[in-house]
Amino acid sequence: MLWSGWGDPAKAAPLPDSVAGLLRDLLGVRPATAAAAGIEDLTVAASRLSEADLTALAGAVGGAAHVRTDAEARIRHTRGKSTPDLLRIRAGETADAPDAVLLPGSHEQVLAVLEACTERRIAVVPFGGGTSVVGGLAPEGVSSFVALDLRRLDALVSVDEVSRTAVLQPGLRAPQAEALLRERGYTLGHFPQSFEWATIGGFAAARSSGQASAGYGRFDDMVVGLTVATPRGTLDLGRAPKSAAGPDLRQLVLGSEGAFGVITAVTVKIHPVPTEAAYEGWRFASFDLGAAALRRIAQDGPLPVVLRLSDETETMIGLADPTAIGGGLSEAAGCLVVLGFEGTAEQIAERRAVVRAVLEQAGGERLGAGPGEKWVHGRFNAPYLRDSLLDVGAFAETLETAAFWSQIPALYAGVKQALTDTLAASGTPPLVMCHISHVYAAGASLYFTVVSAQGEDAVAHWAKAKHAANDAIIAAGGTISHHHGVGTDHRDWYAREIGPLGVDVLRAVKASLDPAGILNPGVLIAPAVPQE
**How confident is the model over 391-431, as pLDDT tens digits?**
999 999 999 999 999 999 999 999 999 999 999 999 999 99
| Burial (CB count <10 Å: 0-12, 13-18, 19+), residue 500 | exposed
pLDDT at 241 over 90: yes
In three-state secondary structure terms, 498 is: helix
- Share of residues in the chain with pLDDT > 90 (%): 88
Cα–Cα distance between 265 and 284 in angstroms, integer? 44
Buried-exposed string 398-433: b where 16+ CB fall within 10 A, e elsewhere = bbbbbbebeebeebbebbbebbbebbeebebbbbbb
Complete domains list, the chain, with CATH: 33-149 (3.30.43.10), 156-272 (3.30.465.10), 276-377 (3.30.70.3450)
Q: What single-letter DSSP state applies at residue 37? A: P
pLDDT at 531 over 50: no
Residue 517's pLDDT band (boundaries 50, 70, 90)? Answer: very high
Residue 320: its pLDDT value, please? 44
Residue 74: its pLDDT value, please? 98
Average pLDDT of 296-319?
93
pLDDT at 17 over 70: yes
Query: DSSP characters for 226-245?
Result: EEEEETTEEEEE-SSSS--S
Residue 15's pLDDT band (boundaries 50, 70, 90)? Answer: confident
Which whole-number Å values give the CA distances from 133 to 189, 335, 484, in the listed order?
A: 22, 27, 7
Residue 519: its pLDDT value, please? 98
**How confident is the model over 446-467, as pLDDT tens digits?**
999 999 999 889 999 999 999 9
* Active-site entry in 186, 216, 279, 447: 447
**How confident is the model over 364-396, as pLDDT tens digits?**
999 999 999 999 999 999 899 999 999 999 999
- Share of residues in the chain with pLDDT > 70 (%): 96
HSE value, Cβ hemisphere, 13 Å, CA-based, for 257: 27
Q: What is the dihedral of CA 390, 395, 401, 405, to 10 degrees?
A: -110
C-beta separation of 438 from 483 below 8 A: yes
Residue 326: its pLDDT value, please? 38
Residue 489: its pLDDT value, please? 97
Q: What is the pTM of this model?
A: 0.95
447 is a catalytic site residue: yes
pLDDT at 238 over 50: yes
